[in-house]
Amino acid sequence: MNRRTDTTKQVLVTELLSLSGTAMLLYAAKDEQHHHAVVLREFLRNIAKEGFG
């Protein structure tokens, strides 16, 4: 991944979190604890808490 991609990701996540402080993650999975939205939620929480880097 290059620096421009990292900066773009940081900007997009910052914008997403600043919209209302809340993001709704939709998923269609039978297993409610093991799916992509859970992974994305944890990723976003870590970024919100620790920032990029």
Q: What is the pLDDT of residues 18-46, one digit of tens each?
A: 766 677 777 888 888 878 888 888 887 88
CB 41 within 8 A of CB 24: no
Rounded Cα–Cα distance for residues 32 and 26 (Å):
11
Question: Alpha helix (H) ranges present in 1-53?
Answer: 3-20, 36-50
CB 25 within 8 A of CB 39: no
This prediction has a pTM of 0.48
For position 29, what pLDDT does the model report? 82
SS3 state at 1: coil
Rounded Cα–Cα distance for residues 32 and 37 (Å):
9
